[in-house]
Structure 1
Amino acid sequence: MHTSSRPGPDEEPPTPEQLERWHQRMSAPENELPAGAGITALLARTDDAAVGITLVEVFSTGFRFTLAVRLRRSRPDFYGGHLPMLVGNRHPGIEIPLGDRLLLGIEYADGARASTLQDWRGPAFDDDGLQIHQQGGGGSDRTVDQDFWVSPLPPEGPVTFVLSWPAFGMPESRTVVDSAPIREAAGRAQELWPPQSYWEETHEPPPPPPRPETGWFSYPEG
């Protein structure tokens, strides 16, 4: 279970090394050209909706794929037809019932699991488990193409994609693909130049704001 790693009043803030490892886990290497794994899979479909994965790009530390969502016709009666609201988990301040949201999960052969229901209110600086992160994407009232980053690379064996979208007639289902093309493609990812430190050289964390010496505001939030 994920828990927030924001430091409490008696804990040390994360080190630059921890921040660097966290950044590497959260996104694809910026100094690499990925290799294609040649994987597409239809996860679920009805007469009026379909969800699949495509454009699987593999890096040395993980892989990125596009979740393709298609509707035969728009649903203006459903959240005003704003389909991207229902995909992923980045909608601050908007409460969408679980039965209306498209839920996506992934499981490796060794039992590691992650899903779009992960709690990211605080970064897990020391979490080395399987992670899936929503990245860029967009769409309209009938189509969404949403990218996701998965880290680390899968071990030998199957990779299982789990989908649930009851509002569109898709109960929980599992789609299994072989991890071999993903692991093989990782060996073809090309390093363009040596990696650069994200936090120390490019985006050094700002210093903490000054606090009163006494009182409630003298302690950092945790």
Structure 2
Amino acid sequence: MGPTSADLQLLFGVELPDGTSARTGIHGWGAPMNHDQQPEAPALTFRGGGGSGSDDEVSAAGNLWLWPLPSDGELRLLAQWKGLGIEECSIAIDASNFSAAATSTQNFWP
């Protein structure tokens, strides 16, 4: 049996300090967002980017959008791209950095 769509795509995920988790969709984009409604928590979406590559090298950049703001504690970021031989791997970061950064934000729209 050949590779599945998920095997060919770059996938992202998070494990939040409260034990919940979210992952992008099999196409790396997550579920389409309805901006008139609050998403079901937690939500993780890949929000565009760009890249280039050849048979020997791939270079890309993009943004992940996570909602809601995670609570303080350890947040684990996950990535997987089976099509390029990258099994699921992760790194832990301190989520308190997000709440500290959020205190300096300014709301322009309700």
The structure where strand makes up a greater share of residues is 2
Show CA shifts across 1:106-165 (max 9, x none): 110111211112763684946441111222311111311111211111112111111112
TM-score by length of 1: 0.39
Which amino acid is the alignment partner of residue 120 of structure 1? A
Q: TM-score, normalised by structure 2?
A: 0.74
Q: Whole-Å Cα distance in 1 between the matches of residues 105 and 38 of structure 2?
A: 26
> Which stretches of structure 1, 4 residues or longer, exceed 3 Å deviation after superposition?
121-128
Q: What residue number does 1:168 align with? A: 84
Alignment-mate amino acid for residue 21 of structure 2: R
Q: How does 1:1-222 map to 2 (within 5 A)?
A: 97-117=5-25, 120=31, 123=34, 125=37, 127-141=39-53, 142-191=58-107, 193=108, 195=109
Please tell me whether Structure 1 or Structure 2 has the larger radius of gyration of its CA atoms.
1
Distance change >3 Å, CA 108–CA 117, structure 1 → 2: same
Residue 54 of structure 1 is matched in structure 2 by none
Whole-angstrom CA distance in 1 between matches of 2:52 and 2:33:
30
**CA distance in structure 1 between the aligned counterparts of 2:39 and 2:106, rounded to whole angstroms:** 27
- Equivalent pair of 2:79/2:88 in contact (CA under 8 Å): yes
> Which amino acid is 1:167 matched to?
G
Structure 2 residue matching 1:190: 3-state secondary structure: coil
Identify unmatched segments of 5+ residues in structure 2: none
Coordinate RMSD, CA, aligned: 2.5
Question: Between the two proteins, what is the percent identity of the paired residues?
Answer: 25
Aligned to 1:205: none
> What secondary structure does 1:136 align onto?
strand
Q: How many residues align?
A: 99
* Aligned residue type for 1:130: P
Structure 1 residues 149 and 108: alpha-carbon distance in aligned structure 2, compared to 1, 3 A threshold: same
**1:175 and 1:188, CA in 2 relative to 1: closer, same or farther beyond 3 A?**
same
